[in-house]
Structure 1
Amino acid sequence: MWILPIVGLLGSILGFCFLTLAIASGLYYLSELVEEHTVVSKRLLSRLIYFIIVIQLLLCIVDRFPFWLTLLGIASHVVYLGNMRRFPYVALTDPLFLASCVLVLVNHIAWYRHFSAHQKKAYANVSSFYETPEDIPSFTEVASYFGICVWLVPFALFVSLSAGDNVLPTENPAAAAAASGDGSKRRAQGMAKMLVDGARNAISEVGVMAGWKKRDEGF
């Protein structure tokens, strides 16, 4: 077969492109919602952080999850909660914001190693290749834990927070001091929107340089 593999490759590329566009559109729309409903978003995010802390405590007490990893997860969400003090505005050089970025990676690596080691240990004790250990979480359970307890709050913060450089001077004293004298009146823009707009502008510039479109044409 020669043609079918090519069709499969083209379908994979198209599927990846459509998935990327769908994610970007979703991020843009969520960022718009947060900008319009800041107070509600702050309340929901704060309660979500407390809810996940309770889940981690219950997992540690009832399901015997490792104490130190649970403590790491709870401490990480306390740091995430610190980003809510000036929600939705954040300075990209804020120590709490930088610590949050590091803790996302640390939590992901730590819990991935924990579940991998637990699964390897469980399968090492089985007597037959066809035997399935009873004491290991399923893929759905592990994926759900990562999605809710590790990634959900950082992802929500990424969608919700606005970079401090784009904040109205009257709404953020730090930005006001930096912007004093230049008459800047730019509206605060979420980081997700900044990322999507940056990627769109970069693709547009590539199109202009390649001669596919004029500079004054839309995306």
Structure 2
Amino acid sequence: MYFLYLMSLLSFGVQAIFVTLAIAAGLYYLAELVEEYTVMAKYVISWLVIITAALHIGLLIFEDFPLYLNILGLIQQCLHGVLLTDFPVVRVYSLTFVTAVAMLIGHHYMAFKFFGAVYYGFSEVVAYFTLCLWMVPLALFVSLSANDYVLPTTGEKQPLLSDNNVLTDYLSRKSKRYSLLSFFSFAKDSILPQRNKKAF
């Protein structure tokens, strides 16, 4: 009896590893697609923002959800819309980005508090968190790597270096890459073994 129980624990660990690798591979592929098709990514994320805002309005009209959760969700979608104005450039130290992250944390807290007090089925809770809380922030998180490959222009809103050299400023910012794709590339290079080509 204990042997089968230990086997089930081992199989659970193996399944968790496979699921984690599958999610990482999927996120890596999505980050590659966003880098390749930034205009289409902005279009898709814009529609995700609109759909999520419509879902919050639908919850307000058709369900007995508290007003504060829907107001938080609508404010969050407005902030996401503001973040999309400069897409694919996302400034993580901007007031809009910091406010959006703070609103996301607050929205999670309020949602956990509400679902802890009022009973809903597991699928309904997962549906709310997936569609109203995680869909747009995950899309924006995956698209952060697209900022690394945007060509520099002279019409940028931030002032460039003192000598107005666009290329020098771009390359100096390029060396500081903190994105999902650069993290996965670093993990791939440091964890996976490198194969050397044999010369015949």
Normalised to the residue count of structure 2, the TM-score between the two structures is 0.80
Matched residue SS, 1:173: coil
Q: Paired residues, what number? A: 191
Match of residue 152, structure 2, among 149, 152, 169: 169
Partner residue, 2:20: 20
Partners of 1:162 and 1:7 lie apart in 2 by 40
The question of whether the paired residues in 2 share the 8 Å contact of 1:52 and 1:148 is answered with yes
Partners of 1:87 and 1:183 lie apart in 2 by 17
Q: Identify the structure with bigger relative contact order (alpha carbons < 8 Å, sequence gap 6+).
A: 2
Partner residue, 1:99: 99
Query: Cα distance, 1:106 vs. partner?
Result: 1.3
Query: Cα distance, 1:149 vs. partner?
Result: 0.6
Partners of 1:171 and 1:12 lie apart in 2 by 53
Partner residue, 2:54: 54
Partners of 1:47 and 1:188 lie apart in 2 by 30
Q: CA 1:41 to 1:172, structure 2 compared with 1: closer, same or farther past 3 Å?
A: farther
Partner residue, 2:168: 181
Partners of 2:8 and 2:195 lie apart in 1 by 33
Partner residue, 2:136: 153
Q: Give ranges in structure 2 of 5+ residues lacking alignment.
A: none
Query: Cα distance, 1:161 vs. partner?
Result: 2.4
Letter in 1 for 2:171: S
Partner residue, 1:123: none
The question of whether the paired residues in 2 share the 8 Å contact of 1:76 and 1:100 is answered with yes
Matched residue SS, 2:168: coil
Q: Give ranges in structure 1 of 5+ residues lacking alignment.
A: 120-136, 205-212
Segment drifting more, 21-30 vs 165-174 = 165-174
| 2:53 is the alignment partner of 1:70 | no
The question of whether the paired residues in 2 share the 8 Å contact of 1:167 and 1:189 is answered with no
Partners of 2:10 and 2:188 lie apart in 1 by 23
| 2:129 is the alignment partner of 1:141 | no
Partners of 1:118 and 1:171 lie apart in 2 by 54
Q: CA 1:43 to 1:166, structure 2 compared with 1: closer, same or farther past 3 Å?
A: closer
Matched residue SS, 1:90: coil
Segment drifting more, 89-98 vs 148-157 = 89-98
Segment drifting more, 94-103 vs 149-158 = 94-103
Normalised to the residue count of structure 1, the TM-score between the two structures is 0.74
Partners of 1:171 and 1:31 lie apart in 2 by 26
The question of whether the paired residues in 2 share the 8 Å contact of 1:83 and 1:90 is answered with yes
Matched residue SS, 1:88: coil
Partners of 2:95 and 2:147 lie apart in 1 by 14
Considering only aligned residues, what root-mean-square deviation do their CA atoms show, in Å? 3.1
Partner residue, 1:31: 31
Based on CA coordinates, which of the two structures has the bigger radius of gyration? Answer: 1
Identity over the aligned pairs, expressed in percent? 34
Moved over 4 A (4+): 163-167, 185-190
Query: Cα distance, 1:118 vs. partner?
Result: 1.3
The question of whether the paired residues in 1 share the 8 Å contact of 2:42 and 2:84 is answered with yes
| 2:6 is the alignment partner of 1:6 | yes
Matched residue SS, 2:51: helix
Partner residue, 1:197: 185
The question of whether the paired residues in 2 share the 8 Å contact of 1:159 and 1:190 is answered with no
